Structure 1
């Protein structure tokens, strides 16, 4: 049998050849191009989402909203302190504006000001504004007032006039005046004193350990302990 050919061996065992005995080696065009049209089962095709037609799915989305609803959402999440500070800053500015207009000036309302108006009138406001008792504001308070006026504009959807942006060349003059006035107020001793934390005494530290604030019994206590030790010995 060593010298028998394959056909002789198949004849010996009466093997009948058919067209599909060794499979079909014909290369189809879609095997090369990746065109699977007509060869995939419908279940394997990714279909786009069809609109919900079942009436039971009508509650899928929330009820229609309006611009008023969006504004209410924004106002609902505003900090009360921020709203109060914005109102205070605008009241201070309006008091100054009303006083100057009664003297014959025509200073426009803040939201109606042009860039040139802001450079003119806000510079004057920075130098002239005072407390109710006539004394000057500390530099930090002056900056807070200006920040409040900027928030007022944003609440009015005026977002193209950020007069505190020092990178905006349109307001470079205003920022120079504001910075100069704050430095002047600081040199006059009107800057608010910096509050320094009191040192932790040995008695305080012992009580902290005894109350379980420091320790290694959980992640929080361990984090506090590591932070305290780093500050204590490396500060």
Structure 2
């Protein structure tokens, strides 16, 4: 208990950084994922190929490698980024690849007749996508998107390898200074669990509300 009392200010500070990394990366990744989704379903082959290559690279390689490449590799190209921006950039690119597939799956799940009905009403492709298809696709993809947000919050722990003082890094420091690693990492694990449980509950509430809108 004394370790918790002594580490509480640091834990709260680490939690704030963890939430910052997760929320900002998810928000930016959602925008990026939406753009990549549009490229994946585009009529232009070059856009589809480029988007598919991006998704393949970021889904097919470990996030830890990506973080280290951005933080340690970009300086060789003359681009120097501090730890937190490096972590946010990598997490955004990583999340964007997965979120684009979640959104694409939602769009593909919408019956083709919805497109045809929108076209028969004189809607352009863009308007049909925005007003008819996307609302249905987002509803279908919400569970997967929510799950990706929860996973992303846990993935922020990897930012500790590039000296970002988030929750895992704080637990590591508390454990090394007191030689009580079990207690330190259990405390961090409980905080992660509380955060992600809150997100999961919020996701369930959102799903119920979206479900009522279509009943």
Work out whether the TM-score is over 0.5.
Answer: no
Higher relative CO (Cα under 8 Å, sequence separation at least 6) belongs to 2
> Which of the two has greater helix per residue?
2
Q: Which has the larger radius of gyration?
A: 1
TM-score by length of 2: 0.24
